[in-house]
Structure 1
Amino acid sequence: MKKFEEKSFRSNSIFKGKVISLKVDDVILPNGKEAKREIINHPGAVAIIAITKEGKLVLVEQYRKALERSIIEIPAGKLEPGEKPEITARRELEEETGYGAHQLTYLQTFATSPGFADEIVHLFVAQDLYKIEEKADLDEDEFVELMEVTVEEAEQLVQEQKIYDAKTAFAVLWMKSCLTKK
Protein backbone atom coordinates (compact mmCIF):
# COMPACT_ATOMS: atom_id res chain seq x y z
CA MET A 1 0.00 0.00 0.00
CA LYS A 2 1.18 3.51 -0.84
CA LYS A 3 1.49 6.01 1.99
CA PHE A 4 -1.86 7.77 2.53
CA GLU A 5 -3.41 5.85 -0.40
CA GLU A 6 -7.09 6.43 -1.12
CA LYS A 7 -8.75 3.37 -2.66
CA SER A 8 -11.58 4.07 -5.12
CA PHE A 9 -14.58 1.79 -4.72
CA ARG A 10 -16.90 3.59 -7.15
CA SER A 11 -16.29 5.91 -10.09
CA ASN A 12 -18.90 7.98 -11.90
CA SER A 13 -18.03 9.55 -15.27
CA ILE A 14 -19.60 13.02 -15.45
CA PHE A 15 -18.22 14.50 -18.68
CA LYS A 16 -16.01 13.51 -21.62
CA GLY A 17 -14.78 16.38 -23.78
CA LYS A 18 -12.27 17.06 -26.52
CA VAL A 19 -9.45 17.75 -24.05
CA ILE A 20 -10.53 16.58 -20.59
CA SER A 21 -12.92 14.27 -18.81
CA LEU A 22 -14.38 14.62 -15.33
CA LYS A 23 -15.26 11.86 -12.91
CA VAL A 24 -16.28 11.62 -9.28
CA ASP A 25 -14.73 8.79 -7.28
CA ASP A 26 -15.89 7.49 -3.93
CA VAL A 27 -12.80 6.56 -1.94
CA ILE A 28 -11.80 4.89 1.29
CA LEU A 29 -9.41 7.17 3.20
CA PRO A 30 -6.38 5.86 5.13
CA ASN A 31 -8.43 6.14 8.35
CA GLY A 32 -11.19 3.94 6.88
CA LYS A 33 -13.72 6.75 6.32
CA GLU A 34 -15.28 7.51 2.93
CA ALA A 35 -14.93 10.67 0.83
CA LYS A 36 -15.63 11.93 -2.69
CA ARG A 37 -12.91 13.08 -5.11
CA GLU A 38 -13.63 15.13 -8.23
CA ILE A 39 -10.94 14.26 -10.77
CA ILE A 40 -10.11 15.78 -14.14
CA ASN A 41 -8.35 13.41 -16.54
CA HIS A 42 -6.06 15.04 -19.10
CA PRO A 43 -3.85 13.36 -21.75
CA GLY A 44 -0.78 15.32 -20.66
CA ALA A 45 1.13 18.09 -22.35
CA VAL A 46 4.54 19.46 -23.21
CA ALA A 47 6.06 22.89 -22.65
CA ILE A 48 9.17 24.29 -24.24
CA ILE A 49 11.75 26.72 -22.88
CA ALA A 50 12.95 28.00 -26.25
CA ILE A 51 16.12 30.09 -26.11
CA THR A 52 17.34 32.15 -29.06
CA LYS A 53 21.01 32.52 -30.05
CA GLU A 54 20.87 35.92 -28.31
CA GLY A 55 19.82 34.23 -25.05
CA LYS A 56 16.22 35.45 -25.21
CA LEU A 57 13.21 33.43 -24.12
CA VAL A 58 10.61 32.79 -26.83
CA LEU A 59 7.07 33.42 -25.54
CA VAL A 60 3.56 33.52 -26.95
CA GLU A 61 0.69 35.68 -25.82
CA GLN A 62 -2.77 34.17 -26.08
CA TYR A 63 -6.25 34.52 -24.63
CA ARG A 64 -7.17 32.00 -21.95
CA LYS A 65 -10.94 31.74 -21.60
CA ALA A 66 -10.76 30.09 -18.17
CA LEU A 67 -9.00 33.22 -16.87
CA GLU A 68 -10.96 35.65 -19.12
CA ARG A 69 -7.70 37.35 -20.14
CA SER A 70 -4.59 37.12 -22.26
CA ILE A 71 -1.41 35.82 -20.67
CA ILE A 72 2.13 35.35 -21.88
CA GLU A 73 3.42 31.77 -21.84
CA ILE A 74 6.14 29.49 -23.07
CA PRO A 75 5.04 27.42 -26.08
CA ALA A 76 3.06 24.36 -24.99
CA GLY A 77 0.52 21.87 -26.20
CA LYS A 78 -1.43 18.70 -25.56
CA LEU A 79 -0.06 15.24 -26.25
CA GLU A 80 -1.88 13.37 -29.00
CA PRO A 81 -2.78 9.70 -28.30
CA GLY A 82 0.34 7.51 -28.53
CA GLU A 83 2.59 10.48 -29.34
CA LYS A 84 5.99 10.73 -27.66
CA PRO A 85 6.50 14.00 -25.74
CA GLU A 86 9.56 14.96 -27.81
CA ILE A 87 7.49 14.77 -31.02
CA THR A 88 4.77 16.91 -29.45
CA ALA A 89 7.38 19.42 -28.26
CA ARG A 90 8.88 19.78 -31.75
CA ARG A 91 5.41 20.14 -33.32
CA GLU A 92 4.20 22.73 -30.82
CA LEU A 93 7.41 24.75 -31.07
CA GLU A 94 7.03 24.91 -34.85
CA GLU A 95 3.28 25.62 -34.80
CA GLU A 96 3.33 28.32 -32.16
CA THR A 97 6.63 30.05 -32.90
CA GLY A 98 7.79 29.18 -36.42
CA TYR A 99 11.05 27.87 -34.93
CA GLY A 100 12.64 24.46 -35.09
CA ALA A 101 15.39 23.34 -32.73
CA HIS A 102 18.60 21.50 -33.53
CA GLN A 103 18.91 20.77 -29.82
CA LEU A 104 15.90 19.67 -27.79
CA THR A 105 16.67 18.47 -24.27
CA TYR A 106 14.23 16.89 -21.81
CA LEU A 107 14.33 18.79 -18.51
CA GLN A 108 11.67 17.28 -16.24
CA THR A 109 8.03 16.28 -15.82
CA PHE A 110 5.68 17.82 -13.27
CA ALA A 111 2.03 17.78 -12.20
CA THR A 112 0.08 20.98 -12.85
CA SER A 113 -2.80 20.70 -10.36
CA PRO A 114 -2.48 17.43 -8.41
CA GLY A 115 -5.31 18.30 -6.04
CA PHE A 116 -7.92 17.62 -8.74
CA ALA A 117 -6.26 16.79 -12.07
CA ASP A 118 -3.90 14.09 -13.38
CA GLU A 119 -2.35 16.39 -16.03
CA ILE A 120 1.42 16.21 -16.27
CA VAL A 121 3.65 18.47 -18.35
CA HIS A 122 6.89 17.27 -19.93
CA LEU A 123 9.28 20.23 -20.01
CA PHE A 124 11.94 20.60 -22.71
CA VAL A 125 14.66 23.14 -23.45
CA ALA A 126 15.01 24.07 -27.12
CA GLN A 127 18.30 25.62 -28.25
CA ASP A 128 20.12 26.25 -31.50
CA LEU A 129 16.85 27.48 -32.98
CA TYR A 130 16.24 28.04 -36.68
CA LYS A 131 13.34 29.60 -38.56
CA ILE A 132 11.03 27.13 -40.33
CA GLU A 133 10.67 27.92 -44.02
CA GLU A 134 7.07 26.74 -44.20
CA LYS A 135 5.62 27.34 -40.75
CA ALA A 136 3.10 24.76 -39.56
CA ASP A 137 -0.43 26.05 -39.06
CA LEU A 138 -1.80 26.77 -35.62
CA ASP A 139 -4.87 24.87 -34.50
CA GLU A 140 -7.95 26.52 -36.03
CA ASP A 141 -9.08 27.82 -32.61
CA GLU A 142 -5.64 29.09 -31.59
CA PHE A 143 -4.45 32.69 -31.90
CA VAL A 144 -1.02 33.66 -30.59
CA GLU A 145 1.41 36.55 -30.78
CA LEU A 146 5.11 35.74 -30.67
CA MET A 147 7.60 37.65 -28.53
CA GLU A 148 11.25 37.23 -27.52
CA VAL A 149 12.37 38.67 -24.20
CA THR A 150 15.43 38.83 -21.98
CA VAL A 151 15.35 37.16 -18.58
CA GLU A 152 15.02 40.60 -16.97
CA GLU A 153 12.06 41.45 -19.21
CA ALA A 154 10.48 38.09 -18.38
CA GLU A 155 10.89 38.77 -14.65
CA GLN A 156 9.12 42.09 -15.15
CA LEU A 157 6.27 40.30 -16.95
CA VAL A 158 5.94 38.00 -13.93
CA GLN A 159 5.81 41.04 -11.62
CA GLU A 160 3.11 42.60 -13.82
CA GLN A 161 1.20 39.27 -13.76
CA LYS A 162 1.31 39.10 -17.56
CA ILE A 163 3.20 35.84 -17.08
CA TYR A 164 0.67 34.19 -14.80
CA ASP A 165 0.98 30.42 -15.17
CA ALA A 166 3.26 28.11 -13.21
CA LYS A 167 5.07 26.48 -16.16
CA THR A 168 6.17 29.85 -17.55
CA ALA A 169 7.13 31.25 -14.13
CA PHE A 170 9.20 28.09 -13.64
CA ALA A 171 10.83 28.65 -17.06
CA VAL A 172 11.82 32.19 -16.08
CA LEU A 173 13.36 30.97 -12.80
CA TRP A 174 15.15 28.16 -14.62
CA MET A 175 16.60 30.54 -17.21
CA LYS A 176 17.71 33.02 -14.56
CA SER A 177 19.42 30.24 -12.64
CA CYS A 178 21.14 28.80 -15.72
CA LEU A 179 22.21 32.12 -17.22
CA THR A 180 23.70 33.39 -13.96
CA LYS A 181 25.82 30.20 -13.63
CA LYS A 182 27.60 30.88 -16.93
Structure 2
Amino acid sequence: MSLGDGAELQPIGPWQSEEFLAHVERAREYAGPWVPFMVGVTDRESARSFLQNFADRQAADTGSLYVIRHDGTLVGGALFRVFDTRTESCEVGVRLEPAAAGRGLITRAVDHLVDRAVDERGTHRVERLASSADHRSTGVAERLGFTRGGVLRESFPWQGIRHDMEVWSVLAPEWRERRAAMDHH
Protein backbone atom coordinates (compact mmCIF):
# COMPACT_ATOMS: atom_id res chain seq x y z
CA MET A 1 0.00 0.00 0.00
CA SER A 2 1.29 3.45 -0.91
CA LEU A 3 2.46 5.86 1.79
CA GLY A 4 3.06 8.60 -0.80
CA ASP A 5 6.34 10.21 -1.85
CA GLY A 6 7.73 6.97 -3.29
CA ALA A 7 7.13 4.97 -0.09
CA GLU A 8 5.24 1.69 0.27
CA LEU A 9 4.08 -0.42 3.20
CA GLN A 10 4.50 -4.10 2.31
CA PRO A 11 4.52 -7.52 4.00
CA ILE A 12 7.84 -9.35 4.39
CA GLY A 13 8.61 -13.05 4.63
CA PRO A 14 11.39 -15.33 5.92
CA TRP A 15 12.90 -15.64 2.43
CA GLN A 16 13.82 -11.93 2.65
CA SER A 17 16.07 -12.43 5.70
CA GLU A 18 19.23 -11.10 4.05
CA GLU A 19 17.60 -7.81 3.08
CA PHE A 20 15.94 -7.59 6.51
CA LEU A 21 19.28 -8.15 8.30
CA ALA A 22 20.92 -5.37 6.25
CA HIS A 23 18.07 -3.04 7.29
CA VAL A 24 18.48 -4.01 10.97
CA GLU A 25 22.22 -3.29 10.75
CA ARG A 26 21.50 0.20 9.37
CA ALA A 27 18.81 0.88 11.99
CA ARG A 28 20.38 -0.82 15.04
CA GLU A 29 21.98 2.18 16.73
CA TYR A 30 19.03 4.52 16.01
CA ALA A 31 16.18 2.14 16.92
CA GLY A 32 17.97 -0.27 19.27
CA PRO A 33 17.28 1.73 22.45
CA TRP A 34 13.52 1.26 21.82
CA VAL A 35 13.12 -1.87 19.67
CA PRO A 36 14.32 -5.07 21.38
CA PHE A 37 14.56 -7.24 18.27
CA MET A 38 17.17 -4.82 16.90
CA VAL A 39 19.58 -6.38 19.40
CA GLY A 40 18.47 -10.00 18.89
CA VAL A 41 18.69 -10.03 15.08
CA THR A 42 22.43 -10.35 14.48
CA ASP A 43 22.88 -12.75 11.56
CA ARG A 44 20.95 -14.30 8.69
CA GLU A 45 19.62 -17.18 10.81
CA SER A 46 18.28 -14.92 13.60
CA ALA A 47 16.74 -12.64 10.96
CA ARG A 48 15.07 -15.62 9.30
CA SER A 49 13.84 -16.91 12.67
CA PHE A 50 12.36 -13.50 13.54
CA LEU A 51 10.62 -13.27 10.17
CA GLN A 52 9.36 -16.87 10.47
CA ASN A 53 7.89 -16.05 13.89
CA PHE A 54 5.84 -13.27 12.30
CA ALA A 55 4.88 -15.47 9.35
CA ASP A 56 3.51 -17.94 11.92
CA ARG A 57 1.68 -15.15 13.75
CA GLN A 58 0.23 -13.96 10.44
CA ALA A 59 -1.00 -17.48 9.71
CA ALA A 60 -2.54 -17.70 13.20
CA ASP A 61 -4.02 -14.17 12.87
CA THR A 62 -2.27 -13.00 16.04
CA GLY A 63 0.18 -10.48 14.55
CA SER A 64 1.82 -9.31 11.34
CA LEU A 65 4.94 -7.56 10.15
CA TYR A 66 5.28 -4.96 7.40
CA VAL A 67 8.23 -3.09 5.97
CA ILE A 68 8.46 0.44 4.69
CA ARG A 69 10.26 0.78 1.39
CA HIS A 70 11.29 4.18 0.08
CA ASP A 71 12.20 4.17 -3.61
CA GLY A 72 12.48 0.38 -3.32
CA THR A 73 14.88 0.31 -0.36
CA LEU A 74 13.78 -1.19 2.96
CA VAL A 75 14.08 1.71 5.45
CA GLY A 76 11.69 0.85 8.29
CA GLY A 77 8.63 -1.01 9.32
CA ALA A 78 5.45 -1.28 11.29
CA LEU A 79 3.74 -4.25 12.83
CA PHE A 80 0.80 -5.58 14.72
CA ARG A 81 2.84 -6.90 17.64
CA VAL A 82 -0.37 -8.31 19.07
CA PHE A 83 -3.62 -8.87 17.21
CA ASP A 84 -6.45 -10.26 19.34
CA THR A 85 -9.67 -10.91 17.44
CA ARG A 86 -11.40 -12.15 20.61
CA THR A 87 -11.06 -8.81 22.42
CA GLU A 88 -11.09 -6.80 19.17
CA SER A 89 -7.83 -5.11 20.13
CA CYS A 90 -4.31 -4.88 18.76
CA GLU A 91 -0.97 -3.25 19.45
CA VAL A 92 1.05 -1.45 16.78
CA GLY A 93 4.82 -1.01 16.78
CA VAL A 94 7.28 0.80 14.51
CA ARG A 95 10.95 1.14 13.59
CA LEU A 96 12.97 3.27 11.18
CA GLU A 97 16.47 3.82 9.88
CA PRO A 98 17.96 7.26 10.65
CA ALA A 99 18.34 8.09 6.94
CA ALA A 100 14.54 7.89 6.53
CA ALA A 101 13.62 9.92 9.63
CA GLY A 102 11.68 13.16 9.49
CA ARG A 103 9.61 12.33 6.39
CA GLY A 104 6.41 11.29 8.18
CA LEU A 105 6.77 7.68 7.03
CA ILE A 106 6.04 6.19 10.45
CA THR A 107 3.03 8.44 11.03
CA ARG A 108 1.58 7.45 7.65
CA ALA A 109 2.35 3.75 8.21
CA VAL A 110 0.60 3.71 11.60
CA ASP A 111 -2.31 5.64 10.08
CA HIS A 112 -2.68 2.87 7.45
CA LEU A 113 -2.43 0.09 10.04
CA VAL A 114 -5.10 1.69 12.23
CA ASP A 115 -7.35 2.13 9.18
CA ARG A 116 -6.84 -1.54 8.33
CA ALA A 117 -7.49 -2.70 11.90
CA VAL A 118 -10.64 -0.59 12.33
CA ASP A 119 -12.15 -0.79 8.84
CA GLU A 120 -11.14 -4.24 7.60
CA ARG A 121 -10.86 -6.18 10.84
CA GLY A 122 -13.47 -4.55 13.08
CA THR A 123 -10.93 -3.79 15.80
CA HIS A 124 -12.32 -1.64 18.61
CA ARG A 125 -9.07 -0.63 20.36
CA VAL A 126 -5.62 0.03 18.90
CA GLU A 127 -2.81 0.41 21.39
CA ARG A 128 0.73 1.76 21.18
CA LEU A 129 3.26 1.15 23.96
CA ALA A 130 6.29 3.42 23.99
CA SER A 131 9.02 4.35 26.41
CA SER A 132 8.47 7.78 27.95
CA ALA A 133 11.99 8.58 26.75
CA ASP A 134 11.10 7.74 23.12
CA HIS A 135 9.67 11.12 22.14
CA ARG A 136 9.47 10.22 18.44
CA SER A 137 7.06 7.33 19.17
CA THR A 138 4.92 9.19 21.67
CA GLY A 139 4.76 12.10 19.21
CA VAL A 140 3.41 9.82 16.47
CA ALA A 141 0.70 8.52 18.81
CA GLU A 142 -0.25 12.05 19.81
CA ARG A 143 -0.31 13.33 16.20
CA LEU A 144 -2.63 10.49 15.21
CA GLY A 145 -5.14 11.27 17.94
CA PHE A 146 -4.26 8.47 20.35
CA THR A 147 -4.99 9.15 24.03
CA ARG A 148 -2.29 8.62 26.65
CA GLY A 149 -4.02 6.24 29.04
CA GLY A 150 -1.31 5.83 31.62
CA VAL A 151 2.29 5.09 32.49
CA LEU A 152 3.58 1.69 33.52
CA ARG A 153 6.34 2.93 35.79
CA GLU A 154 9.75 1.27 35.32
CA SER A 155 7.99 -1.74 33.78
CA PHE A 156 10.42 -2.47 30.97
CA PRO A 157 14.04 -3.22 31.86
CA TRP A 158 16.03 -2.78 28.65
CA GLN A 159 19.76 -2.36 28.16
CA GLY A 160 20.39 -1.51 31.81
CA ILE A 161 17.58 1.05 32.05
CA ARG A 162 14.14 0.54 33.61
CA HIS A 163 11.87 2.37 31.18
CA ASP A 164 8.54 3.91 32.07
CA MET A 165 6.20 2.64 29.35
CA GLU A 166 3.38 4.88 28.19
CA VAL A 167 0.15 3.26 27.04
CA TRP A 168 -1.50 5.13 24.18
CA SER A 169 -4.73 4.02 22.52
CA VAL A 170 -7.41 5.03 20.08
CA LEU A 171 -10.90 3.55 19.93
CA ALA A 172 -12.69 2.82 16.66
CA PRO A 173 -15.38 5.53 17.16
CA GLU A 174 -12.67 8.13 17.93
CA TRP A 175 -10.66 7.06 14.88
CA ARG A 176 -13.67 7.31 12.57
CA GLU A 177 -14.62 10.70 14.01
CA ARG A 178 -11.07 12.04 13.57
CA ARG A 179 -10.94 10.77 9.99
CA ALA A 180 -14.36 12.29 9.16
CA ALA A 181 -13.20 15.64 10.59
CA MET A 182 -10.02 15.51 8.48
CA ASP A 183 -12.00 14.62 5.34
CA HIS A 184 -13.98 17.83 5.80
CA HIS A 185 -10.85 20.00 5.83
The structure richer in helix per residue is 2
The structure richer in strand per residue is 1
> TM-score normalised to the size of structure 2?
0.24
Higher RCO (CA < 8 A, seq sep 6+): 1
